[in-house]
Amino acid sequence: MTLSGPELLFTAPAVFAVSGALVPVLVDGVEKPMWSRITIQAAQKLKIGKVENGGCRCYLAIKGGFPEV
């Protein structure tokens, strides 16, 4: 993601991590740490905010990738 991230609604449980430039990572409005494994449940929202300090890109990794629709 460049300069700003998305807001994603998860429809299934997942495990993810965010790395790269420093950005706020929020699950249902609760801040979570970057560079760590985070579990999210179905119906929860992940919001990745704007880059806060240096750099311009951050990365979202989701265990197993996105499911096929």
Tens place of pLDDT for every residue, the chain, 69 residues?
A: 999 999 999 999 999 999 999 999 999 999 999 999 999 999 999 999 999 888 899 999 999 997 776
Could you tell me the pTM of the whole model?
0.91
Burial class of residue 48 in the structure, from the number of CB atoms within 10 Å of its CB (0-12 exposed, 13-18 middle, 19+ buried): buried
Which residues, 6 or more positions from 32, have their beta carbon under 8 angstroms from its beta carbon? 25, 26, 38
In three-state form (DSSP H/G/I as H, E/B as E, the rest C), the secondary structure along 1-69 is CECECCEEECCCCEEEEEEEEECCEEECCEEECCCCCEEECCCCEEEECECCEEEEEEEEEECCCCCCC
Quote the pLDDT of residue 67: 72
Quote the pLDDT of residue 53: 83
Quote the pLDDT of residue 54: 81
User: What are the boundaries of each domain within the chain?
Assistant: 7-62
